[in-house]
Amino acid sequence: MTQRFDLTGKVAVVTGAADGLGAASARALSEHGATVVLLDISLDGAQAVTDALPTPGLALRCDVSDQTEVVQAFATIRERFGHIEVLHNNAGVSFTGRGDAPPDELEFDMWQHIIGINLTGTFLCTKYALPMMVDRPEGASVINTGSIAGPVLGSTTTAYSAAKGGVVAMTRCLTTTHGGRGIRANVICPGSMDTKMAAMVKSRPDLRERFISQVPLGRQGLPEDIQGLVVFLASDSSSYFSGNVLVIDGGLHLV
Ligand SMILES: NC(=O)c1ccc[n+]([C@@H]2O[C@H](COP(=O)([O-])OP(=O)(O)OC[C@H]3O[C@@H](n4cnc5c(N)ncnc54)[C@H](O)[C@@H]3O)[C@@H](O)[C@H]2O)c1
């Protein structure tokens, strides 16, 4: 059974891999034998994570919202490896309480910035990864990171929620358009996870207590909490699993 989670021989690309959930994903994929390519706007950060991986990986600087940088990164991956079995579109930014607001209060630049990284970044990386992923004998897996904000729960963050809703829709389209070419695509929708992105929850004990008291499992998520799901979706164990939205939030969406 453990062999079904073995990722030896697979090339996995993780975006936003220098920190938080992306770094946890890269570590888990590497621990299960994959060769991991870590893309991040912070090359130093991605390199530090890469240096600590159990199997050799590759760190590349890439701003996922910039088409030129994405083209360059995937050209390097093609040159070095020639194929990709797993793409984890994880890079994202959130400006909760810092400008992402209802439409009448949201600045256009802020909208474009958030959509650019969370949604356009997912599109661009998928676009340039797909030619190296299609028609592989054992198929290939696209794992997109959404959020409970937007696709699952209501939220005040217009741009972030719209971007994450778009990520879910794009994943479903990909399931439909590329299933016949061996691509399965699924979305992970985390609740509040203890990373830099959710630093505000940590910095405000009152907010943290209130939040935690609402989570059925009684705690904030940790980056490690997504690792099992990522390995499952990357592995041949999920070979008949596509088009799903997987919520990982300690049960918060039912409250
Ligand atoms: N932390 C949470 O509570 C939470 C909840 C739901 C969804 N998410 C989603 O999970 C994903 C990871 O979030 P996190 O909490 O690990 O965030 P994080 O801020 O801890 O890490 C994000 C990583 O993405 C990188 N990044 C930012 N902009 C980039 C760009 N333009 N190009 C490439 N890399 C870029 C950062 O350098 C960083 O390494 C995001 O898509 C986020 O929306 C997080």
Catalytic residue selected from 38, 160, 163, 183: 160
- In the predicted model, is pLDDT for residue 2 greater than 70? no
CA distance 81 to 11: 8
The DSSP secondary-structure symbol of 120 reads I
**Pocket of ligand 1 from Cβ distances under 6 Å:** 15-16, 18-22, 40-42, 45, 62-65, 90-94, 117, 121, 145, 147, 190, 192-193, 195-198
* Pairing assessment for the beta strands 183-190 and 140-145 based on DSSP bridges: parallel
The torsion angles phi and psi of 148, rounded to 5 degrees, stand at -70, -25
Instruction: Read off the pLDDT of each residue in 207-231 and give the average, rounded to a whole number.
Output: 95
**128 catalytically annotated:** no
Instruction: Read off the pLDDT of each residue in 241-247 and give the average, rounded to a whole number.
Output: 98
- In the predicted model, is pLDDT for residue 240 greater than 70? yes
Could you tell me the pLDDT band of residue 201, with boundaries at 50, 70 and 90? confident
Instruction: Read off the pLDDT of each residue in 173-193 and give the average, rounded to a whole number.
Output: 98
The torsion angles phi and psi of 132, rounded to 5 degrees, stand at -95, 0
Structural domains in the chain? 2-248 (3.40.50.720)
CA distance 81 to 247: 32
Q: Which of 224, 188, 222 is nearest to 31 (CA)?
A: 224
- What is the pLDDT, as a whole number, of residue 1? 55
Could you tell me the pLDDT band of residue 203, with boundaries at 50, 70 and 90? confident
CA distance 139 to 135: 7
The CA-atom distances, in angstroms, between 181 and each of 29, 125, 131, 165 are 23, 18, 11, 25
- In the predicted model, is pLDDT for residue 175 greater than 70? yes
pLDDT digits 0-9 by tens, 87-138: 999 999 999 888 999 999 999 999 999 999 999 999 999 999 999 999 999 9
The arrangement of strands across the sheet holding 245-248 comes to 58-61, 35-40, 11-15, 86-89, 140-145, 183-190, 245-248
- In the predicted model, is pLDDT for residue 34 greater than 60? yes
Give the N- to C-terminal CA distance of the chain in Å, as an integer.
35
As a dihedral over the C-alpha atoms of residue 205, residue 194, residue 238, residue 41, rounded to 10 degrees, the angle is: 140
- What is the pLDDT, as a whole number, of residue 131? 98
Q: What is the pLDDT of the chain when averaged over all its residues?
A: 96
CA distance 211 to 46: 31
